[in-house]
Amino acid sequence: MSTTPGSAPAPGSAPAPGSAPAPGSAPAPGSAPVPASRPAPPRVLTVAGSDSGGGAGIQADLKTMLALGVHGMSVLTAVTAQNSLGVQGAWELPVEAVRAQYRSVVDDIGVQAVKTGMLSSAELVGAVAELIAATDAPAVVDPVGVSKHGDPLLAASALDSVRTELLPAATVATPNLDEVAQLTGVRVTREEELREAAAAVLAFGPKWVLIKGGHLTGEAVDLLTDGAEEHWLRAPRHDNRHTHGTGCTLASAIAAHLARGWSVPEAVTAAKEYVTGAIAHGFALGGGIGPVDHAWTFRTAHAAGEPEAAG
């Protein structure tokens, strides 16, 4: 029996080759069922540079977001030639290219959290600060100043823009001790001095600051505060030199949890736990400092014979 173009096949007849089954009908024998529409996972946008070695930057951010069960999206700000030994070159993208990427994602897909990383010039810092200030989503600002190997990633002329434009737009700022000194002049050598560092960064306007004390001796202790509440986060220090990408990973993990609607203390506490495990499982690559393991939760579950699940 034939059918006219666009009409449904007669009852009991097979659909034409290559056509979709009628709504509600059973799939053909041996074919996979058509999945129902699923809600999208939380969406997080990273605005950062590329690390060609895959340990830090955009690459670390997206791996972290995948591991924590959110949908990662990216705005590329710079390209670096980078490996386990250091940064051999860096090329900043034009501001208009950065702005276009951001608008493309936010205006169509939308975001539930934003994370910033390498922003190497004052012009770029100002443009990104303006974009995130106008976005209705929490922003995690990692004020990247130097790479793990000591290579400068932020022009000295951009420091004032970070202080006066980027930090005021931050829900959480996550400087390490070198970045605290670079931004505020406060040099921390003991745990007791973390409060002074936090107060100095909060004076620039972020809602919360996480001062990362990983460069101190003893326990890996960080201080999270908004000037009223204090949360001291402690973890054992792992004897592992392969820690490339730690700061990017932590900031992205915080953003991933904020995108789920968690409070800042909840998000930071969970992110600290994740990055501590990633450091413990860091591995050697090349002839220098290897990366943290963003997939450590999956590898641990696999080794234990447990089903792998993100989030």
d(CA 79, CA 89): 8
pTM metric for this prediction? 0.85
Based on the residue annotation, tell me whether 246 is a catalytic residue of this protein: yes
In this prediction, residue 9 has a pLDDT band, given cuts at 50, 70 and 90, of very low
Based on the residue annotation, tell me whether 212 is a catalytic residue of this protein: yes
In this prediction, residue 59 has a pLDDT band, given cuts at 50, 70 and 90, of very high
> Considering only 18-27, 138-147, 252-261, which range has the smallest mean pLDDT?
18-27
Which among 126, 214, 247, 282 is annotated as catalytic?
247
CA proximity to 211, closest of 236, 242, 243, 247: 247
pLDDT digits (tens, 9 = 90+) for 218-236: 888 999 999 999 999 999 8
Based on the residue annotation, tell me whether 116 is a catalytic residue of this protein: no
User: Residue 239 has what pLDDT?
Assistant: 86
User: Residue 215 has what pLDDT?
Assistant: 76
User: Residue 8 has what pLDDT?
Assistant: 44
Based on the residue annotation, tell me whether 248 is a catalytic residue of this protein: yes
pLDDT of 14 strictly over 90: no
CA proximity to 51, closest of 247, 274, 245, 286: 245
Which among 117, 126, 245, 282 is annotated as catalytic?
245
The pLDDT > 70 percentage for the chain reads 84
Strands 230-235 and 220-225: antiparallel
Query: Structure tokens of 58?
Result: 């955009």
Collect contacts of 196-200 with beta carbons under 8 A, ≥24 apart: 197/223, 198/223, 198/225, 198/227, 199/227
User: Residue 20 has what pLDDT?
Assistant: 47
CB of 84 closer than 8 Å to CB of 244: yes
Element (H, E) at 11: none
